[in-house]
Amino acid sequence: MIRAGWARWLQEPLLTGRLAVLVALMGVTVPTLIRMSVHGVVTGCEFTPYVPFVLICAILVPWWQAALVALGSVAIMGGFFGSPAVHMMDCFLPAAGIFLGSSAIMIAVAISFRSVVAAIHNRGADESEGGIVFSLEKGEVWASWYGQGPPVRLGSQRRVSEMMEDFLAQVELAKRLNGR
């Protein structure tokens, strides 16, 4: 199940929900603070501090949140570090365009990598048998369906066993009642 665990991690963004929003906000805030700390030394339209944070977000959060980090970075650089005159600088539009283009490429590579991992993981799955495959990893029961994506965690082995026994008892009861 270690391989399945890695596949689950690689096929989908690691973070979702509130934690993903927090990471995306940090992906704009931290490089902005870095940029502010060197503002007297670095002048012009440098987006360099934002690049690694867009890459980290492309790996950890859904693609659209990583794209918002890139767009938010351009918005902050365009308005936060100067007056509206920053838009008049010769470097702003080309630098913003190059930054957004490279951000789009990083996000696309992360999406493509996830797709390739999913294709490799699902390749060769024998769908002729059909049904559900149950597996156990560290006391947790996982269920997967051939060709249907990553496994789903069902719960602890004890709890799932109880639920399965209850289900089988219900099936037997239904057979006896329908047999009358």
> Residues 60-83: pLDDT tens digits?
888 889 999 999 888 887 776 555
What pLDDT sits at residue 148?
67
Instruction: Please say which residue of 122, 154, 170 terminates a domain.
Output: 122
Q: What is the extent of the structural domain holding 65?
A: 2-122
Residue 17 scores a pLDDT above 50: yes
Q: Write the pLDDT tens digit of every residue in 85-115.
A: 555 567 778 888 888 999 999 999 998 988 8
Q: Are residues 8 and 48 in the same domain?
A: yes
Q: 99 and 26: one domain? A: yes
Q: With respect to residue 87, please indicate whether it lies within any of the assigned structural domains.
A: yes
**How many domains would you assign to the chain?**
2
Same domain, 104 and 21: yes
Separation of CA 47 from chain center? 24
Residue 139: is its pLDDT beyond 80? Answer: yes
Residues 79 and 106 placed together within one structural domain of the fold: yes
Q: What is the pLDDT of residues 159-169, one digit of tens each?
A: 999 999 999 99
Question: Do 116 and 146 have their domain in common?
Answer: no
Instruction: Say if residue 108 is in the same domain as residue 169.
Output: no
> Is 127 domain-assigned?
no
pLDDT at 145 over 70: yes
The answer on pLDDT for 130 being more than 70 is: no
